[in-house]
Chain A
Amino acid sequence: MRGAPLSFAPTTDWKSPMASTNPGPAAPPKQAAVRPAVSLRGAGLSFGTRTLWQGLDVDIMPGEFLAVLGPNGSGKTSLLKVLLGLQALDEGTALLDGRPVARGSRALGYIPQQKSFPPETPLRARDLVGLGVDGHRWGVRWRTQGYTERVDALLEDVGARSYADTPVGLLSGGEQQRLRAAQALAADPAVLLCDEPLLSLDLHHQQAVSALINRQSHERNSAVVFVTHEINPVIDYVDRVLYLADGRFRVGAPSEVMTSEVLSDLYRSPVEVLESNGRIVVVGLPDATTHHHEVV
Chain B
Amino acid sequence: MDFQEALAAVFTFDNYAELLPLVRNSLLAGAVLGLLGGLIGVFVMMRDLAFAVHGIAELSFAGAAFALLVGANVVAGSLVGSVLAALVLGLMGIRARDRNSIIGVVMPFGLGLGILFLSLYEGRAANKFGLLTGQIVSVDDVQLGLLVGSAVVVIVVLAAIWRPLTFASADADLAEARGVPVRGLSILFMVLLGVAVALSIQVVGALLVLSLLITPAAAALKLTAAPGRVVVLSVAFACVSVVGGILLALGGRVPISPYVTTISFAIYLACRLIASRRVTGTAGRRTVSASARGSGVSPTPST
Contacts and interface: CB of A to CB of B under 8 A. Distances in A.
Interface in A127-165: 127-128, 131-132, 134-141, 159, 162-163, 165
A162 B296 contact: yes
Contacts of B222: 120
Contact of B227 (A102, A122, A132, A170): A122
Contacts of A172: 301-303
A122 B293 contact: no
Contact of A123 (B161, B170, B293): B170
B303 A169 contact: no
Nearest to B221: A120
Interface in A16-67: none
Nearest to A176: B302
B279 to A, nearest CB: 11
A201 B301 CA distance: 9
B221 A136 contact: no
A112 B303 contact: no
B167 A136 contact: yes
A20 B292 CA distance: 48
Contact of A135 (B45, B175, B282, B293): B175
B226 interface: yes
B302 A127 contact: no
B142 interface: no
Given A104-B178, A174-B302, A138 B173 contact: no
Contacts of A180: 174
B177 A193 contact: yes
B167 A120 contact: no
Contact of A140 (B162, B175, B285): B162
B257 to A, nearest CB: 26
B225 interface: yes
Given A136-B178, A193-B177, A202 B303 contact: yes
B178 A140 contact: no
A121 interface: yes
A112 B162 CA distance: 23
B interface, size bucket: 35 or more
A110 interface: yes
The main secondary structure of chain B at its interface with chain A is: helix
Contacts of B286: 166, 170
B299 A162 contact: no
A166 to B, nearest CB: 7
Contacts of A86: 176
A121 B178 contact: no
Interface string A272-288: 00000000000000000
Given A84-B177, A120-B45, A120-B221, A208 B163 contact: no
Given A121-B225, A122-B227, A139 B162 contact: yes
A202 B302 contact: yes
A121 B302 contact: no
B293 A162 contact: yes
A103 B176 contact: yes
Given A120-B221, A135-B164, A170-B286, A108 B177 contact: yes
B303 A136 contact: no
B289 interface: yes
B150 interface: no
Given A135-B166, A169-B225, A174 B178 contact: no
A246 B222 CA distance: 50
Contact of B159 (A112, A128, A139, A201): A139
Nearest to A83: B177
A140 to B, nearest CB: 5
A73 to B, nearest CB: 20
Nearest to A117: B170
Contact of A121 (B159, B170, B177, B285): B170
B179 A106 contact: yes
Contacts of A106: 178-179
Contacts of B170: 117, 121, 123, 128, 131
B300 A204 contact: yes
A156 to B, nearest CB: 9
B161 A104 contact: no
A180 B177 CA distance: 13
A173 interface: yes
A72 interface: no
A95 interface: no
B42 interface: yes
B297 interface: yes
A150 to B, nearest CB: 15
Interface of B: 42, 45-46, 48, 159-164, 166-167, 170-171, 173-180, 220-222, 224-227, 230, 282, 285-286, 289, 292-293, 296-303
23 contacts: A84-B177, A86-B176, A104-B180, A106-B178, A108-B177, A108-B179, A112-B173, A122-B46, A122-B225, A122-B230, A131-B171, A131-B175, A132-B178, A135-B166, A139-B159, A159-B297, A167-B225, A169-B225, A170-B282, A173-B303, A174-B302, A178-B302, A193-B177
Shortest beta-carbon contacts, A-B, top 7: A174-B302, A167-B225, A135-B167, A110-B177, A104-B179, A159-B298, A122-B230
Interface of A: 84, 86, 102-106, 108-110, 112, 117-118, 120-124, 127-128, 131-132, 134-141, 159, 162-163, 165-170, 172-175, 178, 180, 183-184, 187, 193, 200-205, 208
